[in-house]
Amino acid sequence: MSVRILALVGSLRAGSHNRQLAEAAVKHAPEGVEIELFEGLADVPFYNEDLDVEGDVPAAAARLRAAAGATDAFLLVSPEYNGTIPAVLKNAIDWLSRPYGAGALSGKPVAVVGTAFGQFGGVWAQDDTRKAAGIAGGTVLEDVKLSIPGSVTRFAELHPADDAEVVEGLTKVIEQLSSQAAPAAA
């Protein structure tokens, strides 16, 4: 049985280097690991308890929760927006943190990776993402990291899936993440 990992990308831009990083993870997933790149974070409304009513949760949020509930682990891919986590990724974490103590993130391994233009590769945003995912109940793998600096120049003409150094680092992250995940019963 394969380990299932759900990848959530904090950038909505079609040509996002972080989306490309997630695509590289899907392409280079080791045998026995399936990575699903979740589509539709842009459609999930901002978290609001008034909307989070059993039986009446907005369809996009329900679809996110269903995908998260069917996964064994999470790969969160975060760019850095003004020194922190993008709203769309934080919003996804908020929806997955509910119901309190029993959200879809609860007890599941979480790894955070990303790329940014700056010299540190978005580490502030990735640290904030780890913090939010941990508070939301995820088992954050604090030592499993991949921050790729200089995204605009590094990936100007090269997709991350074709960058041997990136693929090597990403493969290590996925292997460590999948080793911490227990495959869910199908």
39 found inside a domain: yes
Confidence of residue 184 (pLDDT cuts 50, 70, 90): low
185 found inside a domain: no
Other CB atoms within a 10 A radius of the CB of residue 12 amount to 13
Q: Is 18:86 a contact under the CB 8 Å cutoff?
A: no
166-178 pLDDT tens trace: 999 999 999 999 9
Q: What is the pLDDT of residue 30?
A: 94
CA distance 79 to 58: 26
Confidence of residue 183 (pLDDT cuts 50, 70, 90): low
Radius of gyration of the chain (CA): 15
186 found inside a domain: no
Confidence of residue 186 (pLDDT cuts 50, 70, 90): very low
| CA dihedral (185, 58, 101, 173) positive or negative | positive
Confidence of residue 163 (pLDDT cuts 50, 70, 90): very high
For residue 119, the enclosing domain spans 3-179
Other CB atoms within a 10 A radius of the CB of residue 184 amount to 14
Q: What is the pLDDT of residue 100?
A: 87
Per the prediction, the chain carries an average pLDDT of 94
43-64 pLDDT tens trace: 999 999 999 999 999 999 999 9
Q: What is the pLDDT of residue 93?
A: 98
Q: What is the pLDDT of residue 121?
A: 86
Percent of the chain whose pLDDT exceeds 90: 88
124 found inside a domain: yes
Percent of the chain whose pLDDT exceeds 70: 98
Q: What is the CATH number of the domain that holds 131?
A: 3.40.50.360
184 found inside a domain: no
List 127's β-bridge partners, or say none: none
60-119 pLDDT tens trace: 999 999 999 999 999 999 999 999 999 999 999 999 999 988 899 999 999 999 999 988
Q: What is the total count of domains within the chain?
A: 1
CA distance 71 to 6: 6
157 found inside a domain: yes
